[in-house]
Amino acid sequence: MNTGKTFMANEGNIKREWLLVDATDMPIGRLASQVASILRGKHKPTFTPHADAGDYVVIINSDKAVLTGKKITDKYYFRHSGYPGGAKFTQAKHMMEKNSDRAVERAIKGMLPKNSLGRQMFRKLKVHKGATHPHCAQQPREVFLTGKRA
């Protein structure tokens, strides 16, 4: 029987899962857009825009994720120390060699809302360089995302 009431997600009725994503041979942008959608909870029928209804996501093998086209040489990551003349630029090639987990995190963070809700969603993301991770106790369910390179 339809009561005509709209469902609103809140902390009391949200069921969170732990999901495992393997980033091997995945373009970072495609990986980021799909993981950001999972972190927001858009894959659930109970999605509520103003609530954090998403799942926890563990990404492994971030060092095996790829950048398509000429991004590996042409893309630069920008940060600033806060001091005058403190601009720092890091080439994507160096970022993927040293901090591939940060490159993946940064791509996903850019696709989340730019407010306190987005920061709360981002805390549910765990990115690891290798194939091992310390979240085995949560028994994450493996998820296969679309868009792997052949």
pLDDT in tens, 29-82: 999 999 999 999 999 999 999 999 999 999 999 999 999 999 999 999 999 999
Least Cα distance to 9 among 45, 38, 59, 35 occurs for: 45
Which residues make Cβ contacts (< 8 Å) with residue 92, sequence separation at least 6? Answer: 67, 71, 72, 73, 74, 75, 76, 77, 103
Average pLDDT over residues 95-124: 97
Average pLDDT over residues 5-17: 89
pLDDT in tens, 15-24: 999 999 999 9
Mean pLDDT of all residues belonging to the chain:
94
Kindly report the pTM of this predicted structure: 0.92
Which residues make beta-bridge pairs with 143?
21
For the chain, domains (ranges, CATH) are 18-68+98-143 (3.90.1180.10)
